[in-house]
């Protein structure tokens, strides 16, 4: 079996703060020109990106891939809409789930796996402000417990 090498190039850290992640799907991206060279250099941002399913196809919007420095006239539009490569069953499943109110398709990571650019797309349900506060309280309490536990072990 071939060794699978993957390297994370961009992460959407705000996604876990803004959404309850319910399901994830790995998908490829249709790229053109010098986009893969910029992605391999890590010149990609998915902070404001989101995905949509239109006419039975999945598309990624607002993913910023910086122009390649040596690309001259072959460079690409940094914010163009990119098609995601998924199986029909995955698209149909995500389409049915994402159509509900309060749900969105969010990219979590961009990485290179075996030479191909991949995106980890998640189905997320939007958090309300009180959910965010609750999550922050839980994290804070867990940190306090860990801190007390470490201090106790030092003795």
Whether residue 88 contacts residue 95, with contact meaning beta carbons closer than 8 Å, is answered with no
On whether residue 96 sits in a domain, the answer given is yes
Residue 85, pLDDT > 60, answer yes
pLDDT at residue 5, rounded to an integer: 67
On whether residue 41 sits in a domain, the answer given is yes
**3-state SS, residue 147:** helix
Tens of pLDDT, residues 30-72: 988 888 888 888 888 888 889 999 898 999 999 898 888 877 7
On whether residue 143 sits in a domain, the answer given is no
Check which CATH number belongs to the domain holding 10 and give it.
Answer: 2.40.280.10
Tally the domains of the chain.
1
């Amino acid at each position: 079996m071939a060794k699978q090498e993957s390297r994370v190039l961009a992460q959407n850290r705000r996604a876990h703060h803004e959404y309850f992640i319910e399901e994830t799907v790995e998908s490829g991206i249709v790229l053109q020109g010098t986009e893969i060279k910029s992605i391999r250099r890590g010149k990609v941002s998915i902070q404001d990106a989101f995905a949509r399913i239109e006419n039975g196809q999945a598309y990624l919007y607002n993913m910023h891939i910086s122009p390649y420095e040596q690309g001259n006239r072959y460079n690409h539009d940094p914010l163009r809409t990119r098609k995601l490569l998924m199986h029909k069953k995955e698209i149909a499943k995500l389409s049915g789930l994402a159509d509900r109110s309060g749900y969105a398709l969010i990219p979590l990571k961009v990485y290179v796996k075996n030479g191909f650019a991949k995106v980890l797309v998640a189905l997320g349900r939007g958090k309300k402000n009180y959910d965010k506060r609750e999550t922050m309280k839980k994290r804070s309490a867990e940190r306090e417990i860990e801190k007390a536990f470490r201090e106790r072990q030092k003795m």
